[in-house]
């Protein structure tokens, strides 16, 4: 699909996660209107990263947290990104996945009303219920597979036992999900899977077994994932079919001690949050590019 082709031809492979939590906004963007403050923060981040970001991921929870004002800020942010960073993928991190009729409503709202290019989903209701999304060949469908959180293995690592499907019997659930997505769901070439940077062995397995399958890789930065390790583990048969997401590591770089140790010029300067975000994003992009040249 066009979205993946853009990623394949661009030099940049990193997505900025606009996990805009109002309680962490610097004083310089605070407004009487909560929605205006969140939007202004996002706009500043996008303005300084538009030339280096492959896309932007907005987590619904941080906007829903502020009610109608937050949702309005999210809507305005999506339109702003399309205007300031044309061609960048705008991803809704909603992790939905209901029955078919509900999914039809979600697809219409996310893609047609809010204007997102892609969205994250749970796999639990299966291929049949996911049809309202899978048929949208012009949108990216990003299915949770091996998530980055420490407790993700509670279900994702459980071994599947199915006498009717000997090919999957004995495999952990995340591998079965990846196999279904890559071999059955991706008939429109619009599916991605989520594979967290915090699980390098699992990421390597997924990449080696399905080297053509595109992946969204969260947890680089604050959650401890390293871009260099991600590129090495996600590259197979000479192909790097992935985009790396960094949220707090970019948008809150101005308050991150590790970042400030490298860039003391930003210490005590929260009004320089956008400039700090650009430096953090350039560091991430350069690390990805340098590693890609070696693998």
**Confidence class for position 168, pLDDT limits 50, 70, 90:** confident
Position 273 pLDDT exceeds 70: yes
| Superfamily classification of domain 2-292 | Aldolase class I (3.20.20.70)
β-pairing verdict for 191-195 and 140-146: parallel
pLDDT in tens, 193-227: 999 999 999 999 999 999 999 999 997 876 778 88
pLDDT one-digit tens code per residue, 17-52:
999 999 999 999 998 899 999 999 999 999 999 999
Residue 2 has pLDDT above 70, yes or no: no
Give me the pLDDT at residue 170, please.
Answer: 86
> Considering 95, 222, 226, 228, which one is annotated as catalytic?
95
Closest to 120 measured CA to CA, from 59, 176, 76, 177: 59
Per-residue pLDDT reduced to its tens digit, 238-271: 999 999 999 999 999 999 999 999 999 999 999 9
Give residue 286's pLDDT: 93
- Catalytic residue list contains 222: no
**Cα 16 from Cα 24, distance rounded (Å):** 16
Whole-prediction pTM value? 0.94
Q: What is the distance between the alpha carbons of residues 100 and 81, in angstroms, rounded to a whole number?
A: 30
Choose the weakest-confidence range: 104-108, 178-182, 220-224: 220-224
Mean pLDDT of 126-138: 95
**What are 76-84's contacts with CB under 8 Å, separation 24+?**
76/35, 76/39, 77/18, 77/38, 77/39, 77/42, 77/43, 77/46, 78/114, 78/115, 78/116, 79/115, 80/39, 80/42, 80/43, 80/46, 81/46, 81/56, 82/115, 84/43, 84/46, 84/47, 84/50
């Amino acid at each position: 699909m066009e979205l993946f082709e853009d990623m394949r031809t661009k030099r940049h492979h990193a997505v900025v996660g606009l996990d805009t939590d109002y309680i962490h906004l610097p004083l310089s963007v605070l407004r009487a209107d909560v929605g205006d403050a969140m939007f202004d923060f996002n706009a500043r981040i996008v303005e300084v990263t538009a030339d280096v970001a492959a896309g932007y991921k907005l987590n619904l929870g941080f906007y829903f947290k502020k009610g109608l004002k937050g949702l309005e800020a999210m809507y305005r942010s999506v339109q702003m990104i399309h205007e300031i960073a044309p061609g960048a993928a705008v991803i809704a991190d909603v992790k939905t996945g209901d029955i078919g009729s509900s999914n039809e409503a979600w697809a219409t709202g996310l893609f047609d009303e809010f204007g997102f290019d892609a969205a994250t989903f749970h796999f639990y209701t299966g291929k049949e219920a996911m049809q309202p999304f899978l048929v949208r060949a012009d949108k990216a469908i990003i299915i949770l597979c091996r998530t980055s959180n420490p407790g993700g293995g509670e279900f994702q690592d459980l071994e599947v036992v199915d006498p009717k499907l000997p090919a999957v019997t004995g495999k952990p659930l995340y591998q079965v999900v990846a196999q279904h997505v890559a071999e059955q769901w991706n008939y429109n070439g619009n599916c991605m899977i989520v594979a967290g940077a915090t699980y390098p062995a699992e990421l390597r397995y997924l990449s080696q077994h399905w080297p053509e399958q595109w992946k969204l890789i969260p947890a680089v930065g604050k959650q401890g994932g390293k871009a260099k390790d991600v590129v090495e583990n996600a590259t197979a048969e000479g192909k790097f079919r992935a985009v790396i997401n960094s949220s707090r590591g970019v948008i809150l770089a101005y308050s991150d001690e590790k970042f400030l140790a490298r860039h003391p010029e930003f210490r005590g300067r929260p009004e320089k949050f956008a400039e700090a975000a650009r430096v953090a994003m350039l560091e991430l992009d350069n690390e990805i590019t340098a590693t890609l040249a070696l693998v």
